[in-house]
Structure 1
């Protein structure tokens, strides 16, 4: 058992993430055994368990930024970010908006230079993490800076976004309401997200399991305008069933 778990940690150190089925085949044991190993290792603080695998524990930038929302549900957001990274192809152009889950996607991109991509963002935090990387061609959206997570917004930012065209947009949301769509808290954020959606071939929502249900102030768009929602393994079964019934692509990280 100790040798098996040492091998799991070695794989995590080398790859950043592992899959249960791959470990089962490589180590010659059942998937149930690997899942039990991963559960025990998570309790020991050695890894982050995800749906179907595990992630390496990366250092969290606890003192680098003051915004509390970055660190809330961090493990869920890291798992979602890793899953989102799998949707990105070599030489893709993407937009990452100004949300905490998008920030973790930027960190994951920073830590995994195996794909060369172009990134457009209005988030100063995302831009700060991705600036100067050899594998990232970074474009910052202009405009006045504001918001809880510092970002450009307003008419100038919207006009600047409209000049781009990207393969994929990764956006965060305040909530997912199956009756009305994806929601936001303010009109300025809503307008930015709507502008981002217009210039993307695919729109992927990054939302941890706490974002499902609840009230809303502003509706960004109906759910049928979204290509995919990526969430974590703690999403309630009623939302999984609702997504299946309404044919909404829901991916569990």
Structure 2
């Protein structure tokens, strides 16, 4: 996949629907070339073509989202993996960057990974690390489990850190999610009061979704993101006592 294809996937996923004319303008190539690109990307299930436009696939599909801004997400995942110590038990909630984090930790036999994501569990089928998959109601789109049984499992399993994907952050709302049941799982994790780390690229900042990712007594105290984080978001989180690690990788961000 070339850089233009990655840019097209990112634009379509960000906007939901983008016309061929707009994609041509934003990428600097002809509409004929864009149509050829869209045909190739649709064949690989990265997007759908409709008359004169491209539309996003199901945004819950982790495999599709993993290929959006892949180099950057891989850089973030590798940095997050460096924060895990030998012998730790670590919860990995779900999402594309977290899936890459799980892959980065897979060959460490001293680590136990706990997850609600069957997508991540499948990635780890040949891993040397221990893997615990929690139970619950299976969401086919996200390939994760949710609901009261998942909450109960979270209460009875112990771990030192939790890496959590987020869908949005805004100074007026804090961290938010777009799926009610998955957001409830995150709140159950935060209720444990352990080190909860938001692992996300900077495109999520400034976006508001319906469901808060916080509880009355607990919220995120650590964020790992990239160096394109808006300055006002960085300042706001630091004023709230949140540790923000910005990973710099110019090649990945470009």
Q: How does the TM-score come out when normalised to structure 1?
A: 0.68
User: Is the contact made by 2:121 and 2:131 (CA closer than 8 Å) also made in structure 1?
Assistant: yes
Q: 1:236 to 1:115 in 2, by over 3 A?
A: farther
1:227 aligns to 2:221 (yes or no):
yes
Residues 1:214 and 1:93: Cα distance change in structure 2 (over 3 Å): same
**C-alpha distance after superposition, 1:12-49 (max 9, x if no partner):** xxxxxxxxxxxxxxxxxxxxxxxxxxxxxxxxxxxxxx
Asked if residue 107 in structure 1 is aligned to residue 103 in structure 2, the reply is yes
For residue 125 of structure 1, report the CA deviation from its aligned partner: 1.2
Counterpart of 2:7 in structure 1 is none
Alignment of 1:161-240 (within 5 A): 161-199=154-192, 201-221=194-214, 225-240=219-234
Distance (whole Å) between structure 2 residues aligned to residue 199 and residue 90 of structure 1 = 22
Give 1:220 deviation, angstroms: 1.2
Q: CA RMSD in A?
A: 2.2
1:193–1:242 distance in 2 versus 1, CA, 3 Å: same
- Unpaired runs of 5+ in structure 1? 1-61
Whether 2:133 is the aligned partner of 1:140: answer: yes
- How big is the shift at 1:201? 1.9
SS in 1 for 2:207: coil
Offset of residue 147 of structure 1: 4.7
1:117 aligns with 2:111: yes
Instruction: Quote the offset at 1:114 in angstroms.
Output: 4.7
Detail structure 1 runs of 4+ shifted over 4 Å in the superposition. none
The residue that corresponds to 1:57 in the other structure is: none
**Aligned counterpart, 1:76:** 72
Query: Given the two structures, how large is their TM-score scaled by the length of structure 2?
Result: 0.68
SS in 1 for 2:160: strand
CA distance in 2, matches of 1:133, 1:168: 20
1:153 aligned residue? 146
Change (3 A) 1:216 1:115: same
- Shift, 1:200, TM fit: 5.5
Give per-residue Cα distances to partners, 1:196-246, cap 9 Å, x unaligned.
223352100001010101222111117972120000122222222333333
Partner secondary structure for residue 238 of structure 1: helix
> In structure 2, do the counterparts of structure 1 residues 152 and 228 end up closer, same or farther at CA, with 3 Å as the change threshold?
same
Number of residue pairs the alignment of both structures matches = 188
Unaligned runs of 5+ in 2: 1-43, 46-60, 248-254
